[in-house]
Amino acid sequence: MTSPTTTSAATGSASLTAATLTSATNSAASTSLTVPLYRLAHSRAGDKGNRSNLSLIAHDPAYYDHLVEHITADAVARWFGYRQPAHVERYLLPTLCAMNFVLDEVLDGGVNGSLNLDAHGKGLSFWLLDMPVAPPPGFDANGDGIIEQTVD
């Protein structure tokens, strides 16, 4: 069974910074270290009309709870603020270690009615995967074999 979480119209702007999103996605962590979301998950995308459907699947089941905590409907709405989604809904799929986001009114009227092909399908999933997120505890954030530890 899926569990939806929603957010209303995005209030973000095109000038979102990594620092803004780090503070938005780090509810409990007090670290400035972030990694792009693609280091923790992969994505698939689809669209129908003026609605985009983005899945986010953890690379490792151990990352799933961390992703659920940090990649919320509100955080995704802010990240896609430049597209001005009217509504973002998140569905959790814990058996698959995945979640699904439905973004309404982000496709410039829909694929058939838009001249902007880059805003559809894969382009939006790639944008989601570029979102900065605090790494989970014990994650090799730099890929150098050293596990960074935060000092509170």
The answer to whether position 148 is within a domain reads no
DSSP H or E stretch at residue 41: strand 41-48
The answer to whether position 139 is within a domain reads no
The answer to whether position 152 is within a domain reads no
Q: What's the average model confidence in pLDDT over 8-32?
A: 42
* Listed residue (121, 52, 47) closest to 89, CA to CA: 52
The answer to whether position 89 is within a domain reads yes
DSSP 74-108: HHHHHHTGGG--SEEEEEEEGGGTEEEEEEES-ST
Predicted confidence (pLDDT) per residue in 57-85, tens digit: 999 999 999 999 999 999 999 999 988 89
* pLDDT the model gives residue 8: 44
**pTM of the shown model:** 0.72
For residue 122, give its domain range: 3-26+33-133
The answer to whether position 69 is within a domain reads yes
The answer to whether position 141 is within a domain reads no
* pLDDT the model gives residue 44: 92
pLDDT above 70: residue 19: no
Number of domains in the chain: 1
Predicted confidence (pLDDT) per residue in 25-49, tens digit: 444 344 578 899 999 999 998 888 7
* Listed residue (41, 117, 54) closest to 80, CA to CA: 54
The answer to whether position 80 is within a domain reads yes
The answer to whether position 144 is within a domain reads no
* pLDDT the model gives residue 144: 61
Cα four-point dihedral sign 102, 105, 111, 117: negative
Cα separation, 93 vs 108, whole angstroms:
28
